[in-house]
Homo-oligomer: A and B are copies of this chain.
Amino acid sequence: MPTTTAVRELPHPSREEIRLEAVLHALADPVRLRIITVLNTHGEGEGNGATCSQVELPVSTSTATHHFRVLREAGVINQCYRGTSKINCLRRADLEARFPGLLDAVLRAAAN
């Protein structure tokens, strides 16, 4: 009898569903700017990304979880489970396709 592996998938907007206002709102927060700045130093795709605890933030775990969720729901980051860890990646290709130059302009601005 085959075993069933429960795959926990979190909801993400498709590339076409990503809205500019939602992305700008998601980025309009110092903690969330910090998150995307750190994720920008990690790669995307299989084997890359960062766990939530790899992103050092000056807030509680539950507050951090909220901020990651806002970014995911806006389409800024992808969150997926790898084993029991939640891995976070920037959705660079999707954002660049929808809003060329925006993510890099925000990352540059946040770095100053």
Which A residues fall within an 8 A CB radius of B?
Answer: 20-22, 24-25, 27-30, 33, 98-102, 104-106, 108-110, 112
Q: A105–B24 Cα gap in the complex (Å)?
A: 12
Of the candidates B28, B30, B101, which one forms a contact with A105 in the assembled complex, judged by CB atoms under 8 Å apart? B101
Q: Which residues of B contact A24 (CB under 8 A)?
A: 24-25, 27-28, 106
A101 in contact with B110 (CB, 8 Å): no
Nearest B residue to A101, CB-CB: B105
Q: A56–B22 Cα gap in the complex (Å)?
A: 23
A104 in contact with B101 (CB, 8 Å): yes
Q: A71–B21 Cα gap in the complex (Å)?
A: 15
Of the candidates B30, B101, B108, which one forms a contact with A21 in the assembled complex, judged by CB atoms under 8 Å apart? B30
